[in-house]
């Protein structure tokens, strides 16, 4: 297989994985709904930064440690699920509606970015991808392994930016619509919170069952 076709196949696989609903997508959408377009895009940037860390860890062989010590994966999986469940629970308990506070008073950009990065780093789906798929596309015959890792990292980052960035923009339009309907925003915040909790529980159950 030519290197170009090799990278296209990798892109198709990455696009399919990113497009599947999961913890990263849920966090970006929740951030855009609560804080608007800018907050959603900052959350997207945080998720992308987390993805860069995943690529670096994969290139350094840290995935081999998780393969040799399954309990380490169990810990990451549960930590990620509990973290997202906590975010969802916070939304469920929140009494603040979109119209009560200005956007900038909700959470700083740095906090949103940091939380998005941590959400990605604790996402078990990303670890499964890096453990099972990423190593298959690192081929010595295609040249420097680090250059290959950088190129594939860029593919992942661009794909995340396109998918999650689109979600952030869509979330902002939904937020504008809700702003003119008092009470609907609080209800949706609780629905999103419930979705985050349900996603965390399902992710932990499916990941743990597959081990």
What is the four-CA torsion angle of 159, 160, 162, 164, rounded to 10 degrees?
A: 150
When pLDDT is averaged across residues 141-149 and rounded to a whole number, the result is: 78
3-state secondary structure the chain: CCHHHHHHHHHHHHHHHHHCCCHHHHHHHHHHHHHCHHHHHHHHHHHHHHHHHHHHHHHCCHHHHHHHCHHHHHHHHHHHHHHHHHHHHHHHHCCCCCCCCCHHHCCCHHHHHHHHHHHHHCCHHHHHHHHHCHHHHCCHHHCCHHHHHHHHHHHHHHHHHHHHHHHHHHHHHHHHHHHCCCCHHHHHHHHHHHHHHHHHHHHHHHHHHCC
When pLDDT is averaged across residues 162-176 and rounded to a whole number, the result is: 80
Report domain extents, the chain.
25-93+102-209
16-50 pLDDT per residue, tens: 778 776 788 888 888 887 788 888 999 999 999 99
- What gap in Å lies between CA 176 and CA 179, rounded to an integer? 5
The percentage of the chain sitting over the pLDDT mark of 90, rounded to a whole number, equals 14
Q: Binning pLDDT at 50, 70 and 90, where does residue 147 land? A: confident
**pLDDT score of 121 more than 70:** yes
Query: Is the entire prediction scored with pTM above 0.75?
Result: no
52-111 pLDDT per residue, tens: 998 888 777 655 655 566 666 566 666 666 766 777 787 777 654 444 434 434 568 898
């Amino acid at each position: 297989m030519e290197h170009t076709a090799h990278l296209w196949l990798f892109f198709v696989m990455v696009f399919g994985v990113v497009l599947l609903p999961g913890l990263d997508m849920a966090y970006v959408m929740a951030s855009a709904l609560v804080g608007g377009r800018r907050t959603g895009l900052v959350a997207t940037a945080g998720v992308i930064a987390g993805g860069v860390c995943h690529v670096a860890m994969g290139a350094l062989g840290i995935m081999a440690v998780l393969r040799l010590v399954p309990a380490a994966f169990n810990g990451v999986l549960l930590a990620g699920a509990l973290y997202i469940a906590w975010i969802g629970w916070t939304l469920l308990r929140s009494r603040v509606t979109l119209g009560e506070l200005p956007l900038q008073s909700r959470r700083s950009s740095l906090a949103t970015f940091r939380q998005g990065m941590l959400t990605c780093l604790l996402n078990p789906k990303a670890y499964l991808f890096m453990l099972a798929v990423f190593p298959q596309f690192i081929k010595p015959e295609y040249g420097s392994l680090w250059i290959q890792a950088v190129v594939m990292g860029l593919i992942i980052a661009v794909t995340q930016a396109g998918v999650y960035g689109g979600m952030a923009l869509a979330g902002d339009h939904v937020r504008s619509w809700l702003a003119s309907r008092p009470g609907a925003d609080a209800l949706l915040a609780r629905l999103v919170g419930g979705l985050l909790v349900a996603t965390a529980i399902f992710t932990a159950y499916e990941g743990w069952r597959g081990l």
